[in-house]
Structure 1
Amino acid sequence: MSKTVDLNADMGESFGAWTMGNDADLLQIVTSANIACGFHAGDPDVMADTMALAVKNGVGIGAHPGFPDLRGFGRYRMQIPYEQLANAVRYQVSAAQGMARIAGGHMRHVKLHGALGNMTSEDEEMAKVCYAAALDVDPDLYVMVMAGTAQQRAVEALGSNFAAEIFADRAYNDDATLVDRRLKGAVIHDAQLAATRMVDMVQAGAILTASGKRIETRIDTICMHGDTPEAVDIAREVRRALEAAGIMAKAFPHD
């Protein structure tokens, strides 16, 4: 039996007159969309338009909550009291849920953005706070987690549905976290390299780190960042390479 994997992209990150990414083209390739909720990027009109396109293309809709950090695109690490952080997640997930319903769709999953995602990949308690807050809004949500990190341990402890994610366009540290964007080689821009890495990891059932370490993990979904200039090329090449290797692209949950 061939393997199956979801392809997801972070999107809906334009804001007013500022355009970020090529969501329309990505939505013809990926099977899941993580849509910004207005805190790190996005606005109500962008959310509405992106979700309508996702519904039109049969792409699964997810909320992509982040820190209140428009200037830093959600990539500045922030120290926020946990109750305030929980409310910030609830607020964003609730907005996404309502906008998805109005677009004729259904919000199926949640994925934390940027620095919030990176911090929770290192801190299980912080991850639990964020995921519990999202599940307060909808206990049936799937939580998209960075495979093999504190995020996965947190969601397993909570006993909720989850999808384990690896990244096509990012290099890995030996603890399954992502290499800091400030470091050379952290972001992968070569579409063919990204595709080869993803086929290798899915077939191996493991994250292959920058140092060559193998971290065995469940893999349900592959991410391409929508703000990467080569995002569409990477997504297209990853999907082509996976399908050539007998790996089907299909929205989770998988049987």
Structure 2
Amino acid sequence: MTGIVIDLNADLGEGFGRWTLTDDEALLSLVTSANVACGFHAGDPATMRRVCDIAAERGVRIGAQVSYRDLAGFGRRAMDVPADELADEITYQIGSLQVFARAAGAAVTYVKPHGALYNRVVADPEQAAAVAAGVRLAAPGLPVLCLPGSAIHVQAARVGLPTVDEAFADRAYTTTGTLVPRSKPGAVITDPLQVARRAVTLARERRVTTVNGEFVAVRARSLCLHGDTPGAVEMAKQVRAALEAAGVRVEAFA
């Protein structure tokens, strides 16, 4: 073993009513942290409870994946929400998941923004501060999973919230260490072998290849795989196998 420890997280519970998107059952056997949709971009009470029950049973950490209120756009449309309103909506989403986590004999152990909100709080201090305020009201000291050096990283620290650095094995990076927008070709990487290789490089070398073919330094304690990517389960299997074969211990951060 190398002594390197990495968390593997995935976006789960992204269904609504009769509509399902993520294979939660399979992915919860592979990841160590579950970013559970809290009803604003996807998810409903029954789905939230089911995912919390399975996660608790398998020792997977439960995280609240908070979003703009955007079911129709899956939380991936840019929105302008007043800061006080956004803070309250963040608190509301975390609180709803906390109930189901407690019922499962577990707890919400971290928060991660989703989609357009995640991208917005990379560079927008006001929206980032609103998210941090919402998290703090729900549970002071709850860690925020985010890009290193982002605005939310700074704002969370200002109100006493721990932050956990995250990287994406299945997303393309710019030369500045940010994610390529999903509107651009090649923003999402779907080849399991390529994603697995990138995961190992991120964990062991703390760097990733950019869209320009250059390396950029990226520090991370957690790697994300998107549960809605086609072939997500096979990808997660190959990523976990590659990490373990490279001597990386896959273990939750929370």
Flag the 1:148–1:206 CA change in 2: closer, same or farther, 3 A.
Answer: farther
- Give the aligned length: 253
The answer for the alignment partner of 1:220 in structure 2 is: 221
3-state SS of 2:165 partner: strand
- The code of the aligned residue for 1:239 comes to R
Partner of 1:23: 24
Aligned to 2:231: 230
How far does the alpha carbon of each residue in 1:111-167 deviate from its partner, in whole angstroms, 9 at most, with x for none?
Answer: 001101111112133212202211211112111012343332333333421211101
1:98 aligns to 2:115 (yes or no): no
How far the C-alpha of 1:207 sits from its partner, in A, is: 4.0
Distance 1:176 1:127 in 2: 18
Q: Report the Cα distance in structure 1 between the residues aligned to 2:105 and 2:61, rounded to whole angstroms.
A: 12
The secondary structure found in structure 1 opposite 2:212 is coil
Aligned to 2:114: 113
Q: Give unpaired runs (5+ residues) of structure 2.
A: none
**Which residue of structure 1 aligns with residue 210 of structure 2?**
209
Q: Give, in angstroms, the shift of residue 213 of structure 1.
A: 4.0
* Shift >4 Å, 4+ stretches: none
Separation in 2 of the partners of 1:147 and 1:170?
16
Contact 2:202-2:218 at 8 Å conserved across structures: no
The C-alpha deviation readout for 1:29-78, integer Å capped at 9, x for no partner, is: 00000000111100000000011010111100000011111110000111
TM-score (normalised: structure 2)? 0.95
| CA RMSD between the two structures | 1.4
1:6-37 CA distance string (max 9 Å, x none): 00000111100101110100000000000001
Counterpart of 1:69 in structure 2 is: 70
Amino acid at match of 1:222: L
Q: Secondary structure at the match of 1:177?
A: coil
In 2, Cα distance between equivalents of 1:126 and 1:175: 21
Question: Which residue in the other structure is 2:165 paired with?
Answer: 164
CA distance in 1, matches of 2:217, 2:20: 38
Residue of structure 1 in register with 2:131 after alignment: 130
Question: Does the 8 A contact of 1:195 with 1:237 survive in 2?
Answer: yes
Alignment of 1:16-55 (within 5 A): 16-55=17-56
* Whole-Å separation in 1 of the counterparts to 2:96 and 2:66: 10
Q: Which SS does the other structure have where 2:116 is aligned?
A: helix
Contact 1:191 1:238 in 2 (8 A): yes
Q: Contact 2:141–2:160 (CA<8 Å) still a contact in 1?
A: no
Alpha-carbon contact 1:66-1:116 (below 8 Å) kept: yes
Output the TM-score relative to the length of structure 1: 0.95
Structure 1: state its 5+ residue gaps: none
